Structure 1
Amino acid sequence: MPTNTEIQILTKIKKARRGSLFFIEDFLRFGSTRTVAKALERLVKKEEISRVAHGIYARLEKDPVLGPVKPGTETIAKAIAKRDRARIVPTGILALNALGLSTQVPMNVVYLTDGAARKIVLGKRKIIFKKSSPKNLSAIGPISSLVIQALKEIGKDNITEEEKQIVLTHLKNEDKYRLEHDIRLAPEWIRTIMRQAL
Structure 2
Amino acid sequence: MRQDLSGKMSKSIELQVLGKIKRSPRGTLFFVDSFTTIANAKSANKALERLVKSEELERVAQGIYVRPVIDDYIGKVLPGIEDIAVAIAKRDRATIVPTGSYAMYKLGLTTQVPLSIVYYTDTSARKIKIGKQSITFKKASSKNLAFIGEASMLAIQALRTIGKDQATDSEIKQIKKILKNENPKRLQHDLQLAPVWIRKIIAETK
d(CA) in 2 for partners of 1:106, 1:162:
20
Spell out the pairing of 1:121-140 with structure 2 (5 A cutoff): 121-140=129-148
d(CA) in 2 for partners of 1:157, 1:182:
20
Is 1:13–2:21 an aligned residue pair? Answer: yes
Paired AA for residue 58 in structure 2: S
> Which residue of 1 is the match for residue 3 of structure 2?
none
With structure 2 as the length reference, what TM-score do the two structures score? Answer: 0.93
> Which residue of 1 is the match for residue 54 of structure 2?
46
d(CA) in 1 for partners of 2:138, 2:65:
23
Paired AA for residue 104 in structure 2: L
Paired AA for residue 145 in structure 1: M
d(CA) in 1 for partners of 2:113, 2:38:
39
Q: Which moves more between the two structures, 161-170 or 71-80?
A: 161-170
Paired AA for residue 139 in structure 1: F
Paired residues in the alignment total 198
Q: Which moves more between the two structures, 147-156 or 62-71?
A: 62-71
d(CA) in 2 for partners of 1:15, 1:196:
50
Equivalent in 61, 68, 89 of residue 69 of structure 2:
61
Spell out the pairing of 1:6-155 with structure 2 (5 A cutoff): 6-155=14-163
The structure having more radius of gyration, on CA atoms, is: 2
Structure 1, unmatched stretches of 5+, are: none
Is 1:172–2:174 an aligned residue pair? Answer: no
Is 1:195–2:167 an aligned residue pair? Answer: no
- Aligned-residue offset at 1:165: 1.3
Paired AA for residue 174 in structure 2: I
